[in-house]
A and B are shown apart, each in its own frame.
Chain A
Amino acid sequence: MQIVVCLKQIPDLQQIRIKRDSREPVLEGVPLLFGDMDKNALEEAVRIVEKEGGKVTALALGSPKLRDTIKEALAMGADEAVILTDPAFQGSDTVTTAKILAKAIEKIGPYDLILCGEGSTDNYSGQVPSRLAEILGLPQVTYVRQLEFTEGGLRATRDMEEALEIVEVPLPVLVSVTSEINEPRLASMIQILRAAKKPLQEWSAEDLGLSAAEVGKEASSLEIISNLAPEQERKNVTLEGEVDEVVEQLIDALTREGVIAR
């Protein structure tokens, strides 16, 4: 089983601060990590290979900080990794991201399964998996919360709004997973140390046969006009004291606000 897992490096969303006056997000100094559901995708790949044999390749497109971030994927059990860090890739949108990832997947070689998260934790557009499947001419099975192998293919349980849908599909296929599919493992110290010795490649646009004009901001299909936090004016009153007291204070406050009938 040859599996490629696509992981996106994102800022730690809990650590993003918002500038009070301008409502702009502050991203400087915010640690980078892999998205939650991408880790679910990786965990699933590692479990499959532990059972069925084969190889897991972790693939990520992003800033050069990936050289560090990718170690977590290797420590979690990926056998090797490819990172795509060319400055020309900067400002990529879903169109160019899918284009670049597809080229990299073709270069990685034959595969049976491509695993993605159902959405990236920061953008949650869900576009990259579908676009990738279309470029690679693959069937896609999205929103998967359970996966098992059968003769010649796989059986997946899709988590849709109104129903669980069980589907069968032959390989190769692109699958995107939800956070319910598994509990990603925490890498042990030994695994972290071993990760440093695993094969890691870094490819540029040129390595993928892409020109700078085909990727990055110029080739991107979106223009962001503004990106600001929604306005929030809150009172931030902390009620303190014994339980009875705070409950009284709360009821008084809510009555004053006119949001509970008394």
Chain B
Amino acid sequence: MAEILVFSEKDEIAFELLSKGRELKEGLGLGLAAALLGQEVEGRSGQYFSYGAEKVYLGESTLLADFYVEIYAQALQRMAEEGGAQILLLGSTKRGKELASRVAQKLGAGCITEAIDLRLEGGGLVADRYALGGNTVASQVIKTERKVIAVMPKTFEALPLEAGKGQTVRLELELPEPRVRVVERRAKEGEAVDIEEAETLVCIGRGLGAEEDLGMIWELAAALGAEVGCTKSPASDYGWLSEERIVGLSGKKCNPRLYLGIGISGQIQHTVGILGSKIIVAINKDPQAPIFKIADYGIVGDLYEVVPRLAERLTTP
């Protein structure tokens, strides 16, 4: 039977996709399989069965120890061809995006990356993703017989089954030596923060002049019981905050009850991450800043005057 084939280099994302795959396969009359790629992967197959995989392809090779997209794409292509996969579901991580595109090209398949929803409509598979930089949401259908879709992490919930079992299929893979070589890996200072879960979110942008000024932002956040998020620059360019805190198109999508944007212009790539907020407050000294157009309450003023005063009033009633 033709199948849906799930792969992510992150197990938890694969489990989300398998959970969604269980729903889709009914409507499409397909089987549900997963791919495991790496050096010793068989031990993980049980968990994959418990999320609904009926079949797990095992691709074991020392050449798969590091993630080289060319080699991974080749292995995944082989698995897709073995089981006649019609739909490949991947995680839309950085690696997942490049893998999806490269394997799609190998398979002659159309591909959608950064999908934020997936559903059956009139018997066909429809994927949503942001378009025009976040100005719009495009609903798209892939016309090729084989379809590759990379889905944003946490789009679907991972739902384990009471009991799950299936079949493992070990494939002999003929893989070339990678042309790219990793010579060093420097872990980023990770931070265990989940701003997507925050009920109240204070976000700062380039309007904040210096790293020291973060102090008053943390004070305001403490007064509100809020998490602190940011636009791209304070994390990626200045390194003041970890990249886990970026909100927007390439960062986190947040649905807080209260969002406070401070010194943020409101460019679409940021605001796309806050559309789910119940109340949006903006503090910006430029009355023309686009963020005011999507704000419930706007204060035109200098953040250096407004923020300390607001924090003070919230702590001393």
**A interface with B by C-beta (< 8 Å):** 11, 13-14, 16, 18, 25, 93-95, 98, 121-131, 133-135, 139-143, 155, 160-170, 173, 179-180, 220-230, 232, 234-240, 243-244, 246-248, 250-251, 253-254, 257, 259-262
Among A163, A170, A228, A260, point to the contact of B137 (Cβ < 8 A): A228
Q: With A164-B186, A259-B200 in contact, do A246 and B299 touch (Cβ < 8 Å)?
A: yes
Query: In whole angstroms, how far apart are the Cα atoms of A173 and B140 in the complex?
Result: 32
Number of A-B contacts (CB under 8 A): 231
A131 touches which one: B93, B104, B180 (CB < 8 A)? B104
**CB pair B236 A180 closer than 8 Å:** yes
Which of the segments B51-59, B125-133, B204-212 contacts the partner chain? B125-133
Q: How far is the CB of A17 from chain B (nearest CB, A)?
A: 9
Contact between A221 and B110 (Cβ–Cβ < 8 Å)? yes
Interchain CA distance A144-B18 in the complex, whole Å:
31
Instruction: Judge whether B267 and A14 touch: CB under 8 Å.
Output: yes
Is A239 touching B297 in the complex (CB atoms < 8 A)? yes
Question: What range describes how many residues of B lie at the interface?
Answer: 35 or more
The distance from the CB of A199 to the nearest CB of chain B, in whole angstroms, is 31
Please determine whether A126 and B70 come into contact, CB atoms closer than 8 angstroms.
no
Tell me, in angstroms, the Cα distance from A121 to B269 when the chains sit together: 9
A16 to B267: give the CA distance in the assembly, Å.
Answer: 11
Given known A-B contacts A124-B249, A139-B70, A250-B310, A131 and B133 have beta carbons under 8 A apart: no
Given contacts A14-B290, A165-B185, A239-B298, contact A244 B258 (CB under 8 A): no
For the complex, would chain B's binding face be called helix, strand, loop or mixed by DSSP majority?
mixed
Measured between alpha carbons, how far is A232 from B298 in the docked complex, in Å? Answer: 16
Q: Which residues of B contact A230 (CB under 8 A)?
A: 136-137, 275
Question: CB within 8 Å of A: which of B73-130?
Answer: 73, 93-95, 97-102, 104-106, 109-114, 126, 130
Q: Are B279 and A222 interface neighbours, CB within 8 A?
A: no
In B277-295, which residues have CB < 8 Å from any A CB? Answer: 278-281, 290, 292-295
**B135 A13 Cβ-Cβ under 8 A:** yes
- Complex Cα gap A230–B63 (Å): 44
Residues on B with C-beta less than 8 A from A127 are 97, 100-101, 104, 111, 113
Is B279 within 8 A of A257, CB to CB? yes
Query: Is A162's CB under 8 angstroms from B136's CB?
Result: no
Chain A residue contacts of B137, Cβ below 8 A: 227-230
Docked-complex contact A126 and B101, CB < 8 angstroms: yes
Given the known interface contacts A223-B143, A224-B140, the answer about A143 and B94 at a Cβ–Cβ threshold of 8 Å is yes
B37 at the interface (CB under 8 A from A): no
Contact assessment for B93 and A161 in the assembled complex, using a CB-CB cutoff below 8 Å: yes
Closest chain B CB from A194 CB (angstroms): 31
- Asked whether A168 lies within 8 Å of B144 as measured between CB atoms, the reply is no
How far apart are the CA atoms of A161 and B141 in the complex, in Å?
29
Q: CB-CB < 8 A to B182: which residues of A?
A: 165-167
Known A-B contacts: A223-B142, A250-B310, A260-B200. Give 14 more (CB < 8 A): A13-B134, A94-B111, A98-B105, A126-B97, A131-B104, A162-B190, A163-B186, A164-B188, A167-B183, A168-B183, A224-B139, A239-B297, A246-B299, A257-B258
B224 at the interface (CB under 8 A from A): yes
Cα-based distance from A16 to B268 in the complex (angstroms): 10
Inter-chain CA distance A122–B249, complex, in Å, is 11
Partner of B185, one of A163, A253, A259: A163
Bound: A170/B140 CA distance, A: 38
A140 touches B110 (CB 8 A): no
Least CB distance, B106 to chain A, in whole angstroms: 6
**Residues of the A chain whose Cβ atoms lie less than 8 Å from the Cβ of B290:** 14
A243 in complex: contacting residue of B93, B99, B309, CB < 8 Å: B309
Q: How far is the CB of B115 from chain A (nearest CB, A)?
A: 11
A174 to chain B, nearest CB (A): 11
